[in-house]
Amino acid sequence: MEKHSYDCSISADREATGDLLTNDHESIGEASQVCGAQTTAECCSASSVSELSTAGTSGEGPPSSSSPVCCHSGTKFQLIHEGDIQLCRLNHNRTVLSKILSSKFLRRWETHRIVLGTSEMSSRTAGGFMEWPVRYSSVEDVYPLLRWDPGHKYCLGMVIPEGSLLLQAANSYVRDQWLHSIRWKKALTKYRRVLLSSRKIEVVLRELRSLIDLTLTTPLQDRNIYQQPIDIISKFLVASKDWLEPDAVEDIVRIILPLLEKTMPTPELCEYFCKHCKRCPQSRVVSGMYTPVVQRILKHNMDFGKNPMTRLLVQL
């Protein structure tokens, strides 16, 4: 029942955003009855959008297209950590005043240098629509906007408690780059919160499977794509060492093994594996599942002087 209510809430927010975008003429009609005809409008032209040559750490991409990029098409995106993009906030309060301020002819766009941090997105120049950071935990949904006027077609929407935050990019590739980057940051925030707060093993295993699946299938490319989930898993294992049963540890190792084939284990993870090896020397995990991890460590010729726990794991 709770999940159904949440889905209905998101659907209502999307519908409200769509109404704000498509009912502009109706809004202006109501506006003229309340406060008279407007003579000027502050609106960013479409040409200014095309002048944004980069979206983030990697601004280059294929030629623009009006259709969304599909993850299964093989298109890859560089994870955005910081970049320039245009923003607009829409208030979903269905009052005459909110309709006036959200109408197309009065809608105001601001250009910000947005930083996608670990737990929130913020502007380098705090003010205007980005006076306060937007925490990923408060974002209910992130999606591409398909119903839009021709002058502002490369947009995505973020449903937040007070309404919607619209982001406008220079082309469809950059828009989808921002879309996947924000979704990735939002997902990691959710997995970090759930794994570090839950003590139910069935919840932990479900969330770990989902995290590994997301990591191995994301179209994003970055040196931290594999490392960040490993860091989350390491913190979880360290925090849960007092209540996790040996059988549960083996289930966890089985789940995260595909990720360990892509990146190196952290020192904390190596220490945890070493303790498990000593506690359960006859375990099939010790004899079978740790072998690929050790082989990868040896293949990359690590400096064991700087990584003593890694050296200990190899020796065991």
Same domain for 125 and 170, yes or no, is yes
Within a domain: residue 30?
no
Q: At what angle do helices 267-279 and 290-299 cross, to 10 degrees?
A: 140
**Cβ atoms 229, 259 nearer than 8 A:** yes
List of the chain residues with pLDDT < 50: 1-10, 12, 16-17, 19-72, 96-98, 100-101, 105
**What is the tally of structural domains in the chain?**
2
Same domain for 149 and 224, yes or no, is no
Within a domain: residue 64?
no
Q: Which domain range does residue 133 map to? A: 77-181
Question: Counting runs of H as helices and runs of E as strands, what totals does the chain give?
Answer: 12, 9
Same domain for 203 and 309, yes or no, is yes
The mean predicted confidence, pLDDT, of the chain is 75
Task: Give the separation between CA 164 and CA 159, rounded to whole angstroms.
Answer: 5
pTM for this prediction: 0.72
Return the H-helix or E-strand segment holding 153: none
Within a domain: residue 291?
yes
Same domain for 105 and 134, yes or no, is yes
Same domain for 210 and 176, yes or no, is no
Within a domain: residue 191?
no
> In this structure, what CATH number is given to the domain that contains residue 98?
2.30.29.30
Same domain for 303 and 217, yes or no, is yes
| Cα-to-chain-centroid distance, residue 199 | 25
pLDDT digits (tens, 9 = 90+) for 97-152: 445 445 554 568 899 999 999 999 999 998 999 999 999 999 999 999 886 566 66
Cα–Cα nearest to 86, from 148, 24, 165: 165
Q: Exposed, middle or buried: residue 172 (CB in 10 Å: 0-12, 13-18, 19+)?
A: buried
Single out the residue in 128, 156, 181 at which a domain terminates: 181
